Amino acid sequence: MFKTLQTYKLLFLRLMLIVAGIELSIYFFKIGLLFTGIFGLCMVFLIVREMYFYVRNFVLIYDKTITSILQNDFSSDFSKHKFNRNYNDLFQLYETLKNKENEQISKDIIYRSILNNIETGVIILQKQDSDWSIFLMNDYFSNHFNVPKVSKWKYLKNQLPALCEIIEEDNFHETKTSIDISINEQSKQTFVLQASRTEIFEQDYFIVLLDSIQNVVEKKEKDAWINLMKVISHELLNSITPIRSICQNLQDLVEQDSLSTEDLEDIKNSVETMLRRSDHLQKFVEGYRKLAMLPSPKKEKTELGNLVENVLQIMNPLLRKENIEVQNSITHNYQVNIDQQQIEQVLINLLTNSINALNQNNQKQIFISAEAKENRFFIKITDNGKGIEKEIEDKIFLPFFTTRTEGAGIGLTLSKNIVEAHGGYILNKNEKGKTTFEICLVEDMN
Amino acid at 21: G
pLDDT tens-digit readout, 120-149: 889 889 988 888 888 889 888 888 888 888
pLDDT tens-digit readout, 369-378: 888 877 788 8
Per-residue pLDDT band at 5 (split at 50, 70, 90):
low
Amino acid at 413: T
| Torsion sign across C-alpha atoms 207, 185, 220, 299 | positive
Q: Tell which wins on pLDDT, 166 or 79.
A: 166
- In the chain, domain spans: 2-96, 111-215, 218-292, 300-442
CATH topology of domain 300-442: Heat Shock Protein 90 (3.30.565)
CATH topology of domain 111-215: Beta-Lactamase (3.30.450)
Q: How far is CA 57 from CA 48, 51, 70, 74, 86, in A?
A: 14, 10, 20, 20, 12
Looking at residue 445, its pLDDT comes to: 44
Q: How far apart are CA 143 and CA 445, in angstroms?
A: 42
Q: If we measure between CA atoms, which residue out of 223, 163, 173, 167 comes closest to residue 197?
A: 173
Looking at residue 1, its pLDDT comes to: 47
Amino acid at 238: N
Q: How far apart are CA 283 and CA 292, in angstroms?
A: 14
Best-predicted range by mean pLDDT (69-78, 109-118, 290-299, 391-400): 109-118
Is the confidence at residue 387, as pLDDT, over 50? Answer: yes
Is the confidence at residue 347, as pLDDT, over 60? Answer: yes
Element (H, E) at 353: helix 340-357
Looking at residue 17, its pLDDT comes to: 82
Looking at residue 2, its pLDDT comes to: 44
Is the confidence at residue 268, as pLDDT, over 70? Answer: yes
Total residue length of the chain: 446
Angle at 172 between CA 171 and CA 174, to 5 degrees: 115
Q: How far apart are CA 18 and CA 230, in angstroms?
A: 92
Looking at residue 337, its pLDDT comes to: 87
Looking at residue 446, its pLDDT comes to: 42
The overall average pLDDT reported for the chain is: 77
CATH 3.40.1130 fits 218-292, yes or no: no
pLDDT tens-digit readout, 325-339: 888 888 777 888 888
Range from 87-91, 335-339, 344-348, 350-354 carrying the lowest mean pLDDT: 87-91
Is the confidence at residue 70, as pLDDT, over 80? Answer: no
| Torsion sign across C-alpha atoms 189, 191, 197, 201 | negative
Q: Which residues pair with 127 in a beta bridge?
A: 132
Is the confidence at residue 44, as pLDDT, over 50? Answer: yes
